[in-house]
C-alpha cells in the first residue's frame, strides 16, 4: 500500500481558512486503514471544532472515492457533488491529490496527508514500514524476498556493510539490517551461494518516468 500520515491540523486549517464550503474526499484505495468515509467525517469534525476555536465556521461535505488516483472513477464520483464547493481537501496519497487537481483545475485542491512510501503494516503495533522503492528492476528473486533497495538504509546491493550489528542497522538501532535478514533467509533456504556473486550498481533509469504496461 501507499503509506500516508495525516498532516498537522494547524497546517490543514491554514490551507482552508480562506474558504467556507469545503469538500473532503476520502480514498478507499490502498491505505490501511482506508482513508474512507470515517476518516473524512472525523477530519471534518476535527476541523469544525478547530475552526470554531479560531472563530471560523466551515461547511463541510464528506465523500469518498474507490481509488482517487483513477481519473475516470473519481470524475464520475465527484463531478455531481462539486456544486457550490470552493475547495477540495484530499485524504489520498499525493497521486490522488494530483488527480483531483487535474480534474478540477478551477478550484484549489489541498492535501490532508503526507505521503511517505510504499510499505506494509505491522498491525499489532500499528507501525508502517517501507517495503518497495519502485526501482523498476526487481531483485527480490535473488535476495530471499527481502528488498535491500528499500530496506537497507544505504540501498546496498552487496551487503551487509560494516555497520550491521546483531542484526540491527547502524543508522537506527531499532531498524533491522536488511542484509542480515537476507542472509538468514537465504541460509534457511540453502541458497547462500546467491551471495557469492558481486552485483554491479543498478540502472536506476529503469525506474523510468513513464511506462506502458
Partner 1 sequence: MSEQLAEEKVAVILQEDSCSRCSVCSTLCPYEALKKDTETGKTILDIEKCQVCGLCYSTCPSKAIDVIYYDLDSLTRYLERAKQEYDSDTLVIMCKGSAPDFTGVEGLFGVTKFIPLSVPCVGRIPGEVFFKAILMGIREIYVLACDGDYCRFERGSLVTGRKILAFNLLLEQLGYGKEVITLKRNSLKVKVDTDSCITCGNCVFYCPYDAAKLESPGVVSFDLAACRGCGLCVAVCPAFALDLENWEREHISDLISKLSSEMQTPKILVFRCQWAVFPPLNEESVPNIRYIDLPCASRVDTSHILEAFQKGIDSVLIAACSEEDCKQEKVSGKTQRLIAGLGEKLNQIGLQDRLHFCTVAPRYSEGFNRELEQFSQRIEAIGSKEGE
Q: Which residues contact partner 1 (rule: CB under 8 A)?
A: 6, 8-10, 13, 28, 32-39, 41-42, 45-50, 53, 64, 66, 123, 126
| Residue whose cell numbers read 510504499 | 118
Q: How far is the CB of 60 from partner 1 (least distance, A)?
A: 11
- Judged on CB neighbours under 10 Å (0-12, 13-18, 19+), 129 is middle
Query: Residue 6 has which C-alpha cell?
Result: 495525516
Asked if residue 16 lies in contact with residue 109, where contact means CB atoms within 8 angstroms, the answer is no
Beta bridge partners of 168: 165, 176
Instruction: Rank residues 64 and 99 by Cβ distance to partner 1 and give the closer one.
Output: 64
Between 48 and 86, CB nearer to partner 1: 48
- Residue 93 CA to residue 31 CA, distance in Å, equals 9
Question: Is the CB of 36 or the CB of 144 nearer to partner 1?
Answer: 36
Do 170 and 164 touch, CB atoms closer than 8 A?
yes
Name the nearest CA neighbour of 139 among 42, 213, 67, 206.
206
Question: Of 55 and 193, which CB lies nearer to partner 1 in the complex structure?
Answer: 55
| Least distance (Å) between residue 47 CB and partner 1 | 8
Shortest CB 48 distance to partner 1, Å:
6
CB of 210 to partner 1, least distance (A): 29
Phi then psi dihedrals of residue 74, to 5 deg: -70, -40
- For residue 186, the tally of other CB atoms under 10 A from its CB is 19
d(CA 104, CA 89) in angstroms, rounded, equals 12
| C-beta of 64 vs 164, nearer to partner 1 | 64
Cβ closest to partner 1, residue 38 vs residue 79: 38
Smallest distance from partner 1 to CB 149, Å:
28
The nearest distance, CB 125 to partner 1, in angstroms, is 10
Amino acid at each position: 500500500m501507499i503509506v500516508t500520515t495525516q498532516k498537522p491540523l494547524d497546517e490543514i486549517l491554514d490551507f482552508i481558512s480562506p474558504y467556507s464550503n469545503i469538500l473532503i474526499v476520502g480514498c478507499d484505495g490502498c491505505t490501511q486503514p482506508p482513508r474512507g468515509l470515517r476518516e473524512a467525517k472525523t477530519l471534518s469534525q476535527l476541523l469544525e471544532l478547530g475552526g470554531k476555536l479560531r472563530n471560523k465556521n466551515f461547511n463541510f461535505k464528506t465523500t469518498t472515492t474507490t481509488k482517487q488516483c483513477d481519473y475516470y472513477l473519481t470524475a464520475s464520483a465527484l463531478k455531481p457533488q462539486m456544486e457550490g464547493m470552493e475547495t477540495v481537501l484530499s485524504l489520498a496519497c499525493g497521486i490522488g491529490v494530483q488527480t483531483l487537481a487535474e480534474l478540477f483545475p478551477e478550484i484549489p485542491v489541498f492535501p490532508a496527508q503526507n505521503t511517505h512510501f510504499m510499505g506494509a503494516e505491522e498491525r499489532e503495533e500499528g507501525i508502517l514500514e517501507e517495503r518497495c522503492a519502485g526501482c523498476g528492476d526487481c531483485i527480490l528473486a535473488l535476495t530471499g524476498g527481502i528488498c535491500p533497495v528499500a530496506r537497507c538504509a544505504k540501498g546496498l546491493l552487496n551487503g551487509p556493510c560494516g555497520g550491521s550489528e546483531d542484526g540491527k542497522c547502524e543508522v537506527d538501532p531499532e531498524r533491522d539490517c536488511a542484509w542480515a535478514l537476507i542472509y538468514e533467509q537465504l541460509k534457511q533456504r540453502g541458497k547462500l551461494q546467491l551471495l557469492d556473486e558481486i552485483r554491479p550498481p543498478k540502472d536506476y533509469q529503469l525506474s523510468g518516468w513513464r511506462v506502458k504496461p
